[in-house]
Structures are given as C-alpha cells and as structure tokens.
Amino acid sequence: MSGSDTATTIEIALAVERLAIMFSQYRPEAVRTFGVSSQQAIILAAIYDEPGCGVKRITERTGMFQSVVSRSLGSLVRLSLLERRRSSTDARATELHLTEAGRRAVNEIRDEWRGSLQKACASLTEEQAAALMPSLSLVLTVAQQLVKEA
C-alpha cells in the first residue's frame, strides 16, 4: 500500500482489532466443560494437529509467546489433557502428546465451534459465502505476517 492509503490501512487495523476482540470473547461451552482457557484450547488443537510437536512449533503455529505456552502446558498436564514425553530420536527434546481426554476435548470444542459458525453463517447466500473466502484468506495472511513480526 502506498502512503495515500493511510485511511484504508487505519480502517483495516480497526476492523482486525474488533475481530480479534470478538474472537477472544468467544468461549465455547466445551472449553468451560474441560476447564481450559481459550488459549489452552488453541494449544490443544495445535498439538492435536501435529502430535509430538514441541513448544517452539506451538509458538510458531499459534503466535503465542513461549512463556505463555510453557505456563499453559503445565496446566494442561495437571488437567490430564496432555503428556510430555522424551523424544525417541533426541534425548534433549520433549514431545507433546494429547491424552485420550485431550483428544476428546479438542473434538468437542471443534464440533461446537463449527456448529456455531454454521449457525452464524446460515443467513449468508451461497454467493456471499463464496465472496467471503478470499477476504478471509487475506485476513489470515495479514494476521500471520503480524505474528511473524511480533
């Protein structure tokens, strides 16, 4: 964007900020049921998608600070949703794996999230939903760039 697009950039920043606030306030019932925070649910989902990953990979996938992830992992272990295991290939490395309860938590949280999104999007026409996808991809790209620069 050029300097003449400053007003547009500010509008985009405000819209992304509002979106971030709204999503941070969304807390599915399943999250409360399992006694985890929204951040911890995101961490569980990252491990679900990549079993055996480590803290560094979670920070890359989620954009969370390493200190936040490390504190959350301790809580998730105490809740019996997560296990830490020594790597079979590198004794210095620790792998993160969900317990059966952790996998069940992610499945229930995702099911509820997807159901809520389907209800929220029910009023969109097929054309509106199709038009929304490229914009969401752009928002995701911008968000990933912000996380990389943080």
Report the CATH number at residue 94. 1.10.10.10
What is the distance between the alpha carbons of residues 27 and 18, in angstroms, rounded to a whole number? 16
Burial class (CB in 10 A: 0-12, 13-18, 19+), 89: exposed
What is the distance between the alpha carbons of residues 4 and 89, in angstroms, rounded to a whole number? 54
pLDDT value for 26: 80
The count of domains in the chain is 1
CB contact set of 144 (below 8 Å; sequence gap of 6+): 63
What letter does residue 54 receive in the DSSP assignment?
-
Instruction: Cite the beta strand spans of the chain per DSSP E.
Output: 82-86, 94-98
pLDDT tens column, 2-59 = 554 787 888 888 888 888 888 877 888 888 899 999 899 999 999 999 999 999 999 9
Range(s) of the domain holding residue 99: 3-149
